[in-house]
Structure 1
Amino acid sequence: MKLTPETLAHLPETILTSPYDRQKVTAGIAHLSVGNFHRAHQAVYTDRTLALPGQESWGIVGLGLMDVPSEVQKAEALQSQGGLYTLRECPSGRPDVVRVVKSLVEYIHAPADRLAALKRLTDPAIRIVTMTITEGGYYMDEAGHFMADHPTIVADLKREVPETAFGILTEALRLRREAGVNAFTILSCDNVPSNGEVARHAVLSFARLRDDELADWISRNVSFPACMVDRITPAVGPADIARLNSESGIEDRAPLFCEDFIQWVVEDNFPEGRPAWEQAGVLFTNNVEPYEQVKLRMLNASHSMLALPAVLMGYRFVSEAMEDESLFRLLQQFLGFDSEPHLTAPPGISLPEYGALLLQRFRNKAVSDQLLRIASDSTSKLPVFIRPTAEIVVKDNGDMRRIAFLLACYCAYMNGRDDTNADFPVTEPRLSKEDRALVTDTDPARALDMGVFAGWGLTDNPAFVQLFTDMRQSLQDRGTAATLADVITPKG
């Protein structure tokens, strides 16, 4: 059975749907960059909420931004299915649950019709714009300054119809201002510390490059709530699509799968209104930061701590790597000795219990993510996920082995070859030529001068510099597994 709005009423009994009349739903939310995570997370919470009385005006219109083949295919798939897709939720040790998510009521691929995408954002019905544009999509340098001289930003400022997220947001807000339409709320759902403030800084910086008065109006009228998001959602390849459709019995061109765990913590600051997400499990708070810090410095940091050495050891999937006792112990020790002691637990959360749950989630074979996807763009991820812990450990002269090992693995990863002599793709779009040269310098310590490590204070500690140098040499001479064995062995 093909998945379409027409077949929605004839799904097998085993397929769950949220009980609301989709024909009555209109879009009140626009989402920029509709990736798998958004479809497994924010769209699911909204799907649950639409079943509540009086929530029909909070459907989602998705806006695809990137002009690449995979995004074109996704747009065609979702448009042909009226925005519908199947989601397989995979608990560990229990049967999977398959549901059709109905909250995405419209999809526009901006590169195909940029004016249509812009017009949609000027609709007064759109009161919230959410976005998942990745950690590196905010055009911030190591010091937290907006990269106004980035070629992409420079080019966008010259266009009548912008193409970047911040360009299209700014232009939509300009048009709303001219038309006397209230501003929308902008909600960043990316793994960026203080993501609300970062989104605000990026939008205002872009706007100020165009028009100071417009920037001032945005500053006064647009709210930028912070939030923390969490759900492991693997990439989906052709083999996954075939498997998911075979298991569900539905012909879906855009299926996805995820773990059963889901969490969303949001700052309650929506002047133009919002869905009753709290009735669907969202936690609203005036202080998102403690939840955010725990997630970034434990879950996301552990993902990086696992992915880089695991790729070098020849592993390609998370659950596969978690079967390696040495890698499992590396994460245990990183969480217990490096991360948890330097965090303040939010209300109701035990950090040791949270860490133990993370390791259990990583071992879930049903949602085993691709390590190369997690390792990709580490140049953007390490400063966000690892730096806060690394700064404390190095400054305090603590046990620096795990941090030094990870950063040495990051450098080795740049070679694109693992310890079995198998090549793998290295995706580091934000690594400059100068930094690439530092990675390959004959002096291993020069890599610590890379922009990715700027401000960490690593070179201020001679002991760390020596440890990092030794780790790089050990990875080259003895391999990752042998080096890791020394890292996780307690000091004698």
Structure 2
Amino acid sequence: MASTTTTGQRLNARTMIALAPAIAKPRASGAGAGLETGIVHIGLGAFHRAHQAVYTDDCLNRSPGPWGICGVSLRSPDTRDALAPQDCLYTVAVRDASGDRLRVVGSITETLVAPEDPAAVLDRLTRPATRIVTITVTEKGYCHEPATGALNGDHPGIRHDLANPGQPQTLAGFLVEALDRRRKAGTPPFTVLSCDNLPDNGRVTAGILRQFAELRDPALGRWIADTVACPSSMVDRIVPATTDEDRETVAMALGVTDAWPVMTEPFSQWVIEDHFPAGRPAWELEGAELVSDVRPYELMKLRLLNGSHSCIAYLGYLAGHQTVSDAMADPVFAGFVRALMDDEVTPTLDVPPGADLTRYKAALLERFANPALKHRTWQIAMDGSQKLPQRLLGTIRDRLAAGQPFDRLALGVAAWMRYVGGVDEKGRPIDVRDPLADRLKTLPDAASLLGVREVFGDDLPKNPTFAAVVTEALARLKATGARDAVRSLDPNS
């Protein structure tokens, strides 16, 4: 985490009282205010704090209940170190061209760092008061094969957790050990709610927990499959990484220092399958949509928003654009994204009832172009090997099955291939952050990259049309550069 500002006092329960009336404050906050913890969130990052924690904060402001959040980091202590001295309070800055609107969020009661004290995390997960576990660990946190959704039994963390169930390191290790302890104690299981960008994220989560449990004990696997609810959800809000400049801006507005505020956009959406045997907050009163089947919503969002975002990230980065809004200010890229959505993605969608797809796509273009959100292309480009199967390759499979062209999607895949080579168009090194980064850098061409089964599965590399179109797109990228490659797909260019 970057250094904090030097504005004087820190944000906390005492200093919050003196904040300006225009800054919204929580009605109740933290365990010190008597807020009972009923939710454990695993993956305490900026997105959760700008999204699920805000919806829950709104619920608690409306009607206090047993739904405080214990935030757990599976890796770094940075968020805990920032929030603990602040009584777990932090600022959300909603940012657009008109300026920033600030609020203090108080729904987090406690922060834990799993590598430091796994026993404390297991204790919190095992308590009867814990009725929901929410998750934002990104695609790679599931320790699965993105192309198939199956648990990766060879993952080092999974192997460790099978051998050391009382000292887990992974999401599956913590949840299965806690569920086993609850089973043995006669405590009902908690509901597990994935909030990550995975198709059928509830089904994927349920499968991973069951598969991991079966490796430990087949009876435990059956119990988890029969009793643990894993509803799916779709989440949507753009949350760039916080910068030191953001911290200074927020500190000046607050009059106190917030070590880790989160910056976000006005738009927020949460669609949740309503299956919570142990109860839940009244999220629907605060704008969440409770549905019986989330799949049409998540497919629309994954393919239109996330798929476009990944294409912008790789192509935009290669063309020298540091942020999404910078890329969208270029008519060549704006036209590419619009055509990608309209011509290649939209025909593959089963539009949810009542959804206005034209309006949704127009809103996405406006959100991408928001100059107040400095969403770095490099940030979005992280972990591409885990993201491509959900964001681009599923759409390509549908286009192939229908005998339809997919030139823009293929260029996005080719841009990822160019990016993971680790050198940009000017010969400068790229800081590639990906679980497969070391391996990907050794693969010299499209044919070898297409052989990465974890990304492309077994079917796509064997499809001659797919291989030919992606190989040609990569050759065009290398020959002309990203911007000209994008422009070449515009029929009016």
CA distance, structure 2, for counterparts of residue 301 and residue 33 of structure 1: 23
Look up the SS of the partner of 1:366 in the other structure.
coil
Q: Number of paired residues?
A: 480
Aligned to 1:90, what secondary structure does the other structure show?
A: strand
Of 143, 148, 171, the residue aligned with 1:143 is 148
Q: Which residue of 1 aligns with 2:134?
A: 130
CA shift, 1:393, in A, is 2.2
Cα distance between partner residues in 1 of 2:413 and 2:459: 12
Deviations 1:312-345 (A, max 9, x none): 1111111111111111111000000001122121
Q: Tell me by how many angstroms 1:196 deviates.
A: 0.6
Counterpart amino acid of residue 104 in structure 2: V
- Whole-angstrom distance in 2 between the partners of 1:367 and 1:456: 38
The answer to whether 1:401 aligns with 2:407 is yes
AA in 2 matched with 1:41: H
Distance verdict in 2 for CA 1:203–1:64, change over 3 Å? same
The separation in 2 between residues aligned to 1:320 and 1:34, in whole angstroms, is 29
Provide the C-alpha distance between the structure 1 equivalents of 2:29 and 2:382, rounded to a whole number of angstroms: 40
1:106-255 equivalences in 2 (<5 Å): 106-141=110-145, 142-159=147-164, 160-255=166-261
Partner residue, 2:67: 58
- d(CA) in 2 for partners of 1:33, 1:449: 31
Q: Are 2:426 and 1:420 equivalent residues in the alignment?
A: yes
Q: How far apart, CA to CA, are the structure 2 residues paired with 1:187 and 1:406?
A: 30
Question: CA offset at residue 490 of structure 1?
Answer: 5.0
- TM-superposition CA deviations, 1:194-247 (whole Å, max 9, x none): 011111111111111112222222222211111110100001133332233234
| Residue 270 to residue 466, structure 1, CA distance change in 2 (3 Å) | closer
Residues 1:460 and 2:468 aligned together? no
Distance 2:360 2:135 in 1: 27
Q: Is the 8 A contact 2:29 2:109 kept in 1?
A: no
* Residue type at the aligned position of 1:114: P
Q: Taking every aligned residue pair, what percent have the same amino acid on both sides?
A: 38
In the alignment, what sits opposite 2:47?
A: 37
Q: Is the 8 A contact 1:89 1:257 kept in 2?
A: yes
- Secondary structure at the aligned position of 1:251 is classed as coil
C-alpha offsets along residues 433-482 of structure 1, whole Å, 9 cap, x if unaligned?
Answer: 3x554x304xx4443333222245364234x4333333222222221222
* Residue pairs, 1:68-467, within 5 angstroms: 71-91=76-96, 93-141=97-145, 142-159=147-164, 160-430=166-436, 433=439, 436-437=441-442, 439-441=443-445, 444-451=446-453, 452-455=455-458, 457=460, 459-462=462-465, 464-467=466-469
Contact map agreement 1:340 1:352 (CA 8 A) in 2: no
Counterpart residue identity of residue 147, structure 1:
N
Q: Which runs of 5+ in 1 are unaligned?
A: none
Distance 1:185 1:413, change over 3 A: same
Moved more, 29-38 or 467-476: 467-476
Question: How far, CA to CA, are the matches of 1:175 and 1:168 in structure 2?
Answer: 11
- 2:348 and 2:29 map into 1 onto residues whose CA distance is 48
CA distance in 1, matches of 2:480, 2:60: 56
TM-score by length of 1: 0.93
How far 1:432 sits from its partner (Å)? 6.9
Query: Which deviates more from structure 2 when the two are superposed, residues 134-143 or residues 99-108?
Result: 134-143
Q: Quote how far apart the aligned CAs of 1:6 are.
A: 1.8
Which region of structure 1 is more displaced relative to structure 2, 119-128 or 209-218? 209-218
CA contact (8 A) 2:29 2:107 kept: no
2:151 counterpart SS class: coil
The answer as to whether partners of 2:237 and 2:264 remain within 8 angstroms in 1 is: yes
Residue in structure 2 matched with residue 16 of structure 1 by the alignment:
24
- Determine if the alignment matches structure 1 residue 473 to structure 2 residue 475: yes
Aligned-partner Cα distance in 2 for 1:432–1:205: 28
1:277 corresponds to which letter in structure 2?
A: W
Q: Cα RMSD between the aligned structures?
A: 1.8
State the distance in 1 between where 2:144 and 2:78 align.
30
- Which letter does structure 2 place at the counterpart of 1:449? G
Q: Secondary structure at the match of 2:47?
A: helix
Deviation per residue, 1:67-114 (Å, 9 max, x gap): xxxx222211111111100110113x4342100000001111122221
Q: Which sections of structure 2, spanning at least 5 residues, go unmatched? A: 1-8
- After superposition, the C-alpha distances for 1:232-280 in whole angstroms (9 at most, x for unaligned) are 0001133332233234333011111100101101011111111111111
Displacement, 1:403?
2.1
Q: Deviations over 1:420-443 (max 9, x none)?
A: 33332111213573x554x304xx
2:56 is matched with 46
TM-score (ref. length: structure 2):
0.93
Amino acid at match of 1:115: A
Task: Supply the AA of the counterpart residue of 2:61.
Answer: A
User: Counterpart amino acid of 2:137?
Assistant: I
- 1-side partners of 2:433 and 2:396: how far apart? 23
- Secondary structure at the counterpart of residue 112 of structure 1: coil
Q: Matched residues in 1 for 2:486 and 2:337: separation?
A: 12
Could you list the structure 1 runs, at least 4 aligned residues long, displaced by more than 6 angstroms after superposition.
none
Rounded to whole Å, the distance in 2 between the matches of 1:227 and 1:403 is 25
